[in-house]
Chain A
Amino acid sequence: MSMAQQAEPAVGTPPAPGRKETDGRTAERPLVLRLLARPEVGVFLGAVAVLVFFLIAAPAVRQGGSMATVLYQSSTIGIMALPVALLMIGGEFDLSSGVAVITSALTASMLSYQLTMNVWAGVIVALIVSLAIGAFNGWMVVRTGLPSFLVTLGTFLILQGVNLAVTKLITGNVATDDISNMDGFDQARKIFASSFDVGGVQVKITVVWWLVFAAIATWVLLRTKYGNWIFAVGGNKDSARAVGVPVNFTKITLFMTVGFGAWFVGMHQLFSFNTVQSGEGVGQELIYIAAAVIGGCLLTGGYGSAIGPVFGAFMFGMVNQGIVYAGWNPDWFKAFLGVMLLGAVLINLWVQRTATRR
């Protein structure tokens, strides 16, 4: 016991502070600045601006029917933009999401038709295939540590080729056969591709699904453990792992969520058009990614919202249809998209700098 000659360390315990004292160094920032720093506010203002612009420029947009069409167009992008946005917040992205939609629709269609089964069997198998594609993407990314850009570019090319080749092999054609007379078709159509009446305007059911999924995604992102993990794996993977977040599980399930979205949109296309063109879907993945980025998600991960991409998809649908209603050359669509995308990226950059300013 050598306690006697042990010199006491020089630093003592800090004095216990009072209960409700503040450090007084952070001044309350103005409300406008705080609002603008939210990931979805910038895109909300953008969406309102685009809406007002076309309400003035294209009188046809003011009719209820036109609005329903705009919302329908937005929903088909928006349903996929949601999981793509979650994945992006989680720090990865998926270039195969566009053709994965077609893969899913082809699987369901050909399986039911060739084996003359109830369409629901095809729908279920397509779900399994879509989730498996997502799981494969995720597993490859976490196992190899390669950038998801490369891994999913590979999957994109594989699926694009398989879609065309297998369809030609089985049907002898680039499109699948019409399945509208198969068992269970009407039932499935009710869920994936029906319309309902709102004050004399036919609204597609995908609009409802879109908003339901957006609500669920928002809740998961902000109110659950899993949502916390999504932000963490995207924000700083190594920190997240060090404090015990299951990083690989989170990433793989995010890729599988994209698979689920691809399945849903694929089923919608199948049951609204009865057949599937095997060469479609190419380029759609960039539209989904753009909608997520315009919606305020940071391309490098760790920041974003689920409600932002809803407005992002709405801007897409609005511009796409608005140009038609205004009677302009639809070729301008892509130019508009480019401008919107650049604007969104600049806002994101500014937000990130403001949010992390010392």
Chain B
Amino acid sequence: MTSNGTGTHGAVLPDTAPDRNGPIVELRGAGKSYGNIRALHGVDLEVHPSQVTCVLGDNGAGKSTLIKIISGLHQHTEGDVLVDGEPVRFTTPREALDKGIATVYQDLATVPLMPVWRNFFLGSEMTKGPWPIRRLDIARMKETADQELRNMGIVLDDLEQPIGTLSGGQRQCVAIARAVYFGARVLILDEPTAALGVKQSGVVLKYIAAARDRGLGVIFITHNPHHAYMVGDHFSVLRLGTLELSAARSEITLEELTNHMAGGAELAALKHELAQVRGVDVEELPEAEDLTAPVATSPSSEGTS
């Protein structure tokens, strides 16, 4: 584990890829308990630059807890979280941001009544002039926002329009472009396609690919295996707070992933019971022994580059 820790801790990092080969973010047996409730336990996860790591799981599987640990909203209570090979414990989202870990939340990514360009720079505004009359550099901010959005393939007529007037997919894209611009090395996307239609989802997936091609490590949280399989390099399925599956793209097919994700193992066990119920079609459900995808019994078996 080489750890030539880079000094890039500012809010705005240069767009260069980090010069080390290991994962940017790594979780080793990480877990989190709220009082006596164990929300997450023994999770291993690696995030590499230029790769999309998909985290799948049903409601209550622990996806949100996982994001909150990595993004600094909550602290882990067991295991280790490593950034650039060094153990960290974030206490605020700002600390995670300073390490280049940006999170795009499903709903709290933007302020609806504020113009697009103000949202883009919110919290990291560009200013000019000496202190008593230090003011926003509006022209430069608008130009930069426009340029960055275009680089991600988003074209907006009017950056003055309130961001609430954009569609859900466009808002996600603005949030992604913002994270990319502010030097994120790791982008956490919390169910970006959950509330979107088919076409909108496609647009968001395109920007996930664009972010990956710019050298970012992407953590893509979703419960849609089809979306995950379209862009993912590595898939982790959470169930009841533990890792049920951890597989590289080469080791798994979409069908296996879908089965795991849809609770395939459990459904298969229920198959014979369900067959008794009229109106439930079990023909397409796999038998339990057909599920041969590697299960997370041998963590980090995959040597990725």
Chain B interface residues (CB < 8 Å from chain A): 11, 52, 93-94, 97, 103, 105, 108-114, 118, 121-125, 127, 134-136, 138, 150-153, 155-158, 161-162, 164-165, 167, 205-210, 213, 229-233, 248-250, 302-305
Q: How far is the CB of B118 from chain A (nearest CB, A)?
A: 6
* A5–B252 alpha-carbon span in the complex (Å): 12
Docked-complex contact A302 and B111, CB < 8 angstroms: yes
Q: How far is the CB of B300 from chain A (nearest CB, A)?
A: 13
Does A1 sit within 8 A of B, measured CB to CB? yes
* A240–B105 alpha-carbon span in the complex (Å): 12
List the A side residues contacting B167 at CB < 8 Å: 358
Q: Which residue of B lies closest to A3 (CB)?
A: B305
Docked-complex contact A14 and B164, CB < 8 angstroms: no
Partner of B113, one of A2, A10, A235: A235
* 24 residue pairs from A and B, CB less than 8 Å apart: A1-B305, A2-B248, A2-B250, A9-B209, A9-B230, A9-B249, A11-B205, A11-B208, A12-B209, A23-B155, A25-B157, A223-B136, A225-B127, A232-B111, A232-B123, A239-B109, A242-B103, A242-B105, A244-B94, A298-B113, A302-B112, A356-B165, A357-B165, A358-B165
How many A-B pairs have beta carbons closer than 8 Å: the answer is 141
Does A173 sit within 8 A of B, measured CB to CB? no
* A231–B127 alpha-carbon span in the complex (Å): 17
Docked-complex contact B153 and A14, CB < 8 angstroms: yes
List the B side residues contacting A10 at CB < 8 Å: 229-231
* A225–B303 alpha-carbon span in the complex (Å): 46
Assuming A9-B232, A223-B135, A242-B105, is B155 touching A355 (CB within 8 A)?
Answer: no
List the A side residues contacting B123 at CB < 8 Å: 232, 240, 243-245
Q: Which residue of B lies closest to A356 (CB)?
A: B164
Assuming A11-B205, A356-B162, is B157 touching A228 (CB within 8 A)?
Answer: no
- Which are the 10 A-B pairs with shortest beta-carbon distances? A14-B153, A244-B123, A243-B123, A235-B111, A356-B164, A236-B111, A11-B209, A223-B135, A239-B108, A238-B108
Does A169 sit within 8 A of B, measured CB to CB? no
Q: Which residue of A lies closest to B160 (CB)?
A: A34
Q: How far is the CB of A220 from chain B (nearest CB, A)?
A: 9
Does A7 sit within 8 A of B, measured CB to CB? yes
Assuming A22-B155, A231-B114, is B165 touching A6 (CB within 8 A)?
Answer: no
Docked-complex contact A26 and B157, CB < 8 angstroms: yes
Q: How far is the CB of A351 from chain B (nearest CB, A)?
A: 10
Q: Which residue of A lies closest to B147 (CB)?
A: A19
The 0/1 profile, CB within 8 Å of B marked 1, for residues 345-358 of chain A is: 00000001001111
Given contacts A9-B209, A14-B209, A358-B167, 7 further A-B contacts (CB under 8 A): A1-B303, A9-B233, A10-B230, A227-B136, A232-B114, A235-B111, A298-B113
Does A197 sit within 8 A of B, measured CB to CB? no
Does A30 sit within 8 A of B, measured CB to CB? no
Q: How far is the CB of B168 from chain A (nearest CB, A)?
A: 9
Docked-complex contact A14 and B303, CB < 8 angstroms: no
Q: How far is the CB of B187 from chain A (nearest CB, A)?
A: 14
Partner of B136, one of A25, A225, A245: A225
Chain A interface residues (CB < 8 Å from chain B): 1-3, 5-7, 9-17, 19, 21-26, 219, 223-225, 227-228, 231-232, 235-236, 238-245, 298, 302-303, 352, 355-358
Assuming A2-B248, A12-B209, A14-B206, is B112 touching A225 (CB within 8 A)?
Answer: no
List the B side residues contacting A219 at CB < 8 Å: 135
List the A side residues contacting B150 at CB < 8 Å: 17, 19
Docked-complex contact B136 and A355, CB < 8 angstroms: no
List the B side residues contacting A17 at CB < 8 Å: 150, 153, 155
- Most chain A CB inside 10 Å of its own CB: which residue of B118, B123, B138, B248: B123
Docked-complex contact B302 and A14, CB < 8 angstroms: no
Docked-complex contact A6 and B249, CB < 8 angstroms: yes
Docked-complex contact A231 and B134, CB < 8 angstroms: no
Q: How far is the CB of B229 from chain A (nearest CB, A)?
A: 8
Q: Which residue of B lies closest to A301 (CB)?
A: B113
- Most chain A CB inside 10 Å of its own CB: which residue of B113, B124, B207: B113
Docked-complex contact A355 and B162, CB < 8 angstroms: yes
* A56–B109 alpha-carbon span in the complex (Å): 52
Docked-complex contact B250 and A302, CB < 8 angstroms: no
Q: Which residue of A lies closest to B203 (CB)?
A: A14
Q: Which residue of B lies closest to A241 (CB)?
A: B93
Q: How far is the CB of A133 from chain B (nearest CB, A)?
A: 26
Docked-complex contact B136 and A228, CB < 8 angstroms: yes
Docked-complex contact A23 and B157, CB < 8 angstroms: yes
Q: How far is the CB of B233 from chain A (nearest CB, A)?
A: 7
Docked-complex contact A6 and B248, CB < 8 angstroms: yes
Partner of A244, one of B52, B93, B113, B158: B93
Partner of B135, one of A7, A21, A23, A224: A224
Q: How far is the CB of B10 from chain A (nearest CB, A)?
A: 12
List the A side residues contacting B161 at CB < 8 Å: 26
Q: How far is the CB of A197 from chain B (nearest CB, A)?
A: 32
* A242–B106 alpha-carbon span in the complex (Å): 12
